[in-house]
Amino acid sequence: MSESVERIWINVNLATFDRSEAAPYGARLNQAIFVRGDQIVDIKAMEQLDNLPASAELIDGRGGWMTPGMIDAHTHLVFAGNRAREFELRLEGASYQQIAQEGGGILSTVKATRAATVDELVELAVPRLEALMREGVTSVEIKSGYGLNPEAELNMLRAARELGRRYPVRVSTSLLAAHAIPPEYKDDSDAYIDLICSEIIPAAAEEGLADAVDVFCETIAFSANQCERVFKAAKEHGLGIRAHVEQLSNQHGAALAARYDAWSVDHLEWLDEEGVEAMAKAGTVATLLPGAFYFLRETKLPPIELLRKHKVPMAVATDLNPGSSPLASLRLALNMACTFFRMTPEEVLAGVTRHGAMALGQGEELGQIRPGMKADLLLWDIESPAELAYQFGVNPIRQRIVGGEVANV
């Protein structure tokens, strides 16, 4: 397809999520949207349309709603094995932390993932990725973190990159080597951090496999000091920074990551106001993960009011992973963020568009409908945008558009 192809969607209502639009959802009713190549080039009200370029392809939206493509800014969708047995154990009374401490949990997924080839990892991830795409995901972040040695960590990222080449979806990758302490370093987690900083990060950067690094800052994983070393190494290699923080306890990881200009800090149930202030100052996004909150039956709520008070942008993501959030539906995550966290439909939808893009360091190109942005768009058979957060289990998507091309799944 040549760069100059122009497509015009007419008769669409736009939920632009453009901050300069005053209406809720940045809504503009009855519009035409002009796309050239992979970019949005113009938006006009239908009544202001005069003669349209004869060469353009016209697509009639028939009064449907268009939103930016949905961005799932936190997933672990590349992995092998499954944790159904652990689910049974938890239902018999074991806790997530207990299972982790006894060598189950993340480490059982590590065993299966290390044994898989890159091709196998890709094949296993396909149904998860397709499920997300079918519901409107056009960008997805994928983490490593079940390899925990140089070869297996890089293989996970290779699988993630391969998924992005095979499918019409933008894949952004995070190196999460600091996810759990590997069995080989059971008694010397500092030596594993050395390995991450001196070998794994440089190799991932060299091969262009990682857009960012991620860490799990938690009593059952890595200390704030250890995470800081990873952030320093990431900075030296020009990688973005994100972090799992304040999920099960308050280790003050959010404030630390914000000091390193993190794009996003995620989970945040135990976040305090000091952390929120640090995030506001740094422009770090709060990525909320209601799937993990639900599946681990957490009761401590993330401090939504404080995040609102300090105007911290909030993203919402699935955290799709085998242990704490086996959730391959961003639409259901939207609903959960409303029901559990009392976020509004407008907030959660901004969380998978404008703020999801910011959480990936891509806020200048993705997540809003306005000229200059990439034409990643969804056309929905709905009467109001709130329906996308209200209902789940039905899929009112009519068209999925990535980089200006219709790419239905």
Stretch 282-321 residues interacting with Fe ion (CB under 5 A): 319
- Site for ligand DI6 (CB under 6 A): which residue of 253, 323, 345, 404? 323
Stretch 182-221 residues interacting with ligand DI6 (CB under 6 A): 216
**Shortest-Cβ-distance residue relative to Fe ion:** 319
Contact pattern from residue 98 through residue 117 relative to ligand DI6, giving x for each residue in contact according to CB under 6 A and a dash for the rest: -------xx--x--------
CB of 145 to ligand DI6, least distance (A): 7
Residue 351 in contact with ligand DI6, rule: CB under 6 A? no
Residue 214 in contact with Fe ion, rule: CB under 5 A? no
SS3 of the chain: the string is CCCCCEEEEEEEEEECCCCCCCCHHHEEEEEEEEEECCEEEEEEEHHHCCCCCCCCEEEECCCCEEEECEEECCCCCCCCCCCHHHHHHHHCCCCHHHHHHCCCCHHHHHHHHHCCCHHHHHHHHHHHHHHHHHCCEEEEEEECCCCCCHHHHHHHHHHHHHHHHHCCCEEEEEEEEECCCCHHHCCCHHHHHHHHHHHHHHHHHHCCCCCEEEEEECCCCECHHHHHHHHHHHHHCCCEEEEEECCCCCCCHHHHHHHCCCCEEEECCCCCHHHHHHHHHHCCEEEECHHHHHHCCCCCCCCHHHHHHCCCCEEECCCCECCCECCCCHHHHHHHHHHHHCCCHHHHHHHCCHHHHHHCCCCCCCCCCCCCCECCEEEECCCCCCHHHHCCCCCCEEEEEECCEECCC
CB of 89 to Fe ion, least distance (A): 21
CB of 312 to ligand DI6, least distance (A): 20
CB of 321 to Fe ion, least distance (A): 6
Residue 292 in contact with ligand DI6, rule: CB under 6 A? yes
Of 73 and 292, the one with the shorter C-beta distance to ligand DI6 is: 292
Of 80 and 282, the one with the shorter C-beta distance to ligand DI6 is: 80
Of 14-22, 113-121, 322-330, 376-384, the window that binds ligand DI6 (rule: CB under 6 A) is: 322-330
Give the footprint of ligand DI6 on this chain (CB under 6 A).
Answer: 105-106, 109, 179, 216, 244, 247, 292, 321-324
